[in-house]
Amino acid sequence: MPVRFQGNCPSAVLQTAKYHVRLQPVPRVAIPYEVDDVERWMLSSKDHPALIQMVNAVRADLNEKPGGAFYINEYKQVLVPDRREKIYYIAGIYTEPLRFIFDNGTRRVTISGEAIDLDGNPVSQLDIWPGLRHGIPYVLAAGGNDIYYRYSPRPDVERTVRLSKYVGAAAAEAVAARIRQVKGFQGGRFYINEWREMFAPKGEDDSSARILCYYVGRLRPDEPWFPKPNE
Residue 77 counted as domain residue = yes
- On whether both 94 and 154 belong to a single domain, the answer is no
What's the pLDDT at 178?
Answer: 96
Full pLDDT tens readout for the chain, 231 residues: 789 999 998 876 677 789 999 999 999 999 999 887 788 889 999 999 999 999 999 999 999 999 999 999 999 999 999 887 778 999 999 999 999 999 877 888 999 999 999 999 999 999 999 999 999 999 999 999 999 999 887 778 888 999 999 999 999 999 999 999 999 999 999 999 999 999 999 876 666 666 889 999 999 999 999 999 987
pTM for this entry: 0.93
Residue 124 counted as domain residue = no
- On whether both 106 and 155 belong to a single domain, the answer is no
**Alpha carbon distances (Å) from 206 to 84, 150, 209, 212:** 25, 18, 7, 8
Residue 75 counted as domain residue = yes
How many Cα atoms are found within 13 Å in the side-chain-facing hemisphere of 102?
A: 18
- On whether both 107 and 183 belong to a single domain, the answer is no
- AA letter at 51: L
**Alpha carbon distances (Å) from 214 to 21, 34, 56, 63, 154:** 27, 15, 33, 40, 34
Residue 121 counted as domain residue = no
Residue 177 counted as domain residue = yes
Residue 73 counted as domain residue = yes
What's the pLDDT at 139?
Answer: 96
How many CB atoms neighbour CB 211 within 10 A? 14
- On whether both 197 and 151 belong to a single domain, the answer is yes
How does pLDDT run across 85-97, given as a tens digit for each residue? 778 999 999 999 9
Residue count (the chain): 231
CA dist 231 and 225 (Å) reads 15
- AA letter at 12: A
| Nearest to 7, CA basis, from 76, 60, 67 | 76
> What's the number of domains the chain is made of?
2
What's the pLDDT at 111?
Answer: 95
For the chain, the three-class secondary structure string (H helix, E strand, C coil) is CCEECCCCCCCCCCHHHCEEEECCCCCEEEEEEECCCCCEEEEEECCCHHHHHHHHHHHHHCCCCCCEEEEECCCCEEEEECCCCCCEEEEEECCCCCCEEEECCCCEEEECCCCECCCCCECCCCCECCCCCCCEEEEECCCCCCEEEEEEEECCEEEEEEHHHHHCHHHHHHHHHHHHHHHCCCCEEEEECCCCEEEEECCCCCCCCCCCEEEEEECCCCCCCCCCCCC
What's the pLDDT at 208?
Answer: 62
- On whether both 141 and 87 belong to a single domain, the answer is no
**Structural domain of 29:** 9-111
Residue 32 counted as domain residue = yes
